Structures are given as C-alpha cells and as structure tokens.
Amino acid sequence: MRNAWHPTDTKYGIQNTRHERPLMPTVVEPPLFFLDYDGTLAPIVDDPAAAVPHPEAPDLLRDLDAQFPLWIVTGRDLQALSSFLDRPYSAIGLHGAQEGVVGRDIHNRMSDEAAAALRRLRASVPSVDGLRVEDKARSFAVHYREARDESGARDQLKDWLADLPEVLDAIWGKKVVELRPDGLTKGTAVRRIAAQHPDHVPVYLGDDVTDEDAFAALQEMDRDAVSIKVGPGDTRADARLDGPDAVMAYLRRYV
C-alpha cells in the first residue's frame, strides 16, 4: 500500500524552486504546443461543468492548430471536453491515462487493475456535507470547495486515502483530490509526443500541480523547451503568466 502525496512533496521538485516573481515567457519557432484547459484556456470556476473557454480561446486555438502541432493536456475526460471545444484537437486526458482526439477516438492507457481499484474507491467516498464527486469516465475527482468546513473535509479525505493501492496516485489540487493510475502522468505523455516532433520546440502552459510532471519531463529532455506556470504558486517552470488573459496575449504572438 502507498500513502497519498500532496502538492508540496519533493517528489515533484516544487519546493525551493520558482515562486511568485513572474518571468516573461519567450516566443520560439517552430513551437509544439501543450495546453492545459482549466485555469489556462478557461478560468477556474466552482462548477467544472461551467468552465467555458476564455472568449478568445476558440478562434486562437483554431489559428494555432492550423499552423503548428497542438495538444490539449487535461485532467478531464476527453469525451466530456468536447462540450467545451468545438474542434477535433489532439489531446491527452485524465492526466495521461487517455490519448486521442477531442470528441472522437480515444485510447485508454489505464490497466484493468487500476480501473478496478478506482471503482472500489469510488464506492467508498466519505459522506461529507459539501463534497462533490466529478466522474471522469474510468476515473474521478472529489471536490471540497463547497464544504462548510474545508479543513475538516480535507482531513476526512486524507484518512480515506491513507492506504492507497500501489496502482494508484492521489493528486491534491485546488480544493480537489483526483485519483489516477500510477505511472501515467502528463509528463509521460508529453515526453512521448515530443519525441515524435524532434524539430519543434515544446511549449507547455499549465496551472495545476499535475502540470509539474510535464515541466519536469521537458526539462529533463536534451532539447530546448519552454515551460510556463499559469497563476500563483511554487513551480519548477521556467516562466509564469498571471492567468487566462495573459495566456491569450502570449499565444497571440504566434499568429
């Protein structure tokens, strides 16, 4: 059995790295885009079902996708993401457990053992006032943003995940904990895709703790890359943007 880890764990190299001082991202040619959705292309909202993209995002994504290789990299289920994005973008879903095209064919990389462990945990989510479960195909997340006692709700979730099966990881994000298969991350996905585009410079933008996997993977590769943290918080990224408005301004520099 394994213990659930948290955003401050040194496993992700987040501690004692870059803090709040924003660093201006560079523009590179030719880019290979990896773009997170929530908090990057869309503002963070209380209800994930209401996370519509930034008003500039649809047209800008179409322009970028027509010129450069572009991947959406998200913790969402890719079929569900099609309700927000109106084009068949290449995408990674469920933090690396899915790969495919938004709204079309999707390949699940999750093992049967991990899927069975997730089903067992889904059936045992603690009954706490204000907790909300977000089902994501074969995975799920538990939000405690609406709990009256957020600290108490978090403590109960930590107890629930105290002995996590070896085949799973628990990722603590912004008032949410997500369950995913061990060994499948945004980092493993980005490394695999970047290897298919050796003549392009990877450009990764993301706001979440799970994006630190991708930042680390790109920095460990023997090639130029740009990693951009969106929003506040410690990070190992090379640069920072304040939020989706700044993301749109940066991406406009490529069209």
For residue 90, the surrounding DSSP H or E stretch is: strand 90-93
Contact 40, 214 (CB under 8 A): no
Nearest-CA neighbor of 54 among 37, 78, 71? Answer: 37
Can you tell me the distance from the alpha carbon of 17 to that of 123, in angstroms, rounded to the nearest whole number? 38
Give me the catalytic one of 36, 77, 213, 234: 36
**Residue 105 among the catalytic residues:** no
Query: Please, are residues 187 and 217 in contact by the beta-carbon 8 Å criterion?
Result: yes
Which of 225, 195, 232 is CA-nearest to residue 25? Answer: 225
* Token couple for 37: 């959705």
Structure tokens at 197: 């585009």
Q: What is the dihedral of CA 143, 146, 147, 148, to 10 degrees?
A: 160
Maximum separation of any 2 CA atoms in the chain, in Å? 51
CA distance 138 to 90: 20
In angstroms, what CA-CA distances link 236 with 158, 212, 246? 25, 7, 19
Q: Which residue type is seen at 57? A: A
Q: State the number of CA atoms in the 13 A half-sphere of 99 facing the CB.
A: 11
Q: Which residue has the tokens 């930042």?
A: 215
Active site residues: 36
